[in-house]
Amino acid sequence: MLTCSPKTDPVVKLVFRYIIALRKAGIENFKFHDLRHAFATRLVQRGTDIYKIAKLLGHEDIRMTQRYSHHSPESLRDGVKILEVDFNLTTMILGHGGIGF
């Protein structure tokens, strides 16, 4: 009969510590698998390319990565800010005596 112990099995040790940390933090109804969602979400919110995230998670289909990663309103605003910078530069150059056409 095989027995697993936190002292001898690294996976059991990780799960054991995970359970203890959840209890100490008072977190309920949280599964180890939820960490994959948090990992993907934090990467996408910091601008990491979705294809890189898919590789890191081992997804073959990008749609699965999209299910794991969630944008926040702040991360979506950053995408719009990129356009604002381009618009402002174009407006300054074309509209204020810069390069004219």
Q: What is the pLDDT of residues 10-44, one digit of tens each?
A: 888 988 999 999 999 999 998 888 889 999 999 98
Question: Per the domain annotation, does 85 fall within a domain?
Answer: yes
Range of the domain at 77: 71-101
Domain check: are 35 and 66 in the same one?
Answer: yes
Check if the beta carbon of residue 56 is closer than 8 Å to that of residue 42: no
Domain check: are 59 and 80 in the same one?
Answer: no
Q: Quote the number of domains for the chain.
A: 2
Question: Per the domain annotation, does 12 fall within a domain?
Answer: no
pLDDT band per the 50, 70, 90 thresholds, residue 99 = low
pTM of the model: 0.57
Mean pLDDT for 55-82 is 85
Domain check: are 40 and 57 in the same one?
Answer: yes
Question: Per the domain annotation, does 17 fall within a domain?
Answer: no
Question: Per the domain annotation, does 5 fall within a domain?
Answer: no
Closest by Cα among 75, 40, 71, 37 to 54: 40
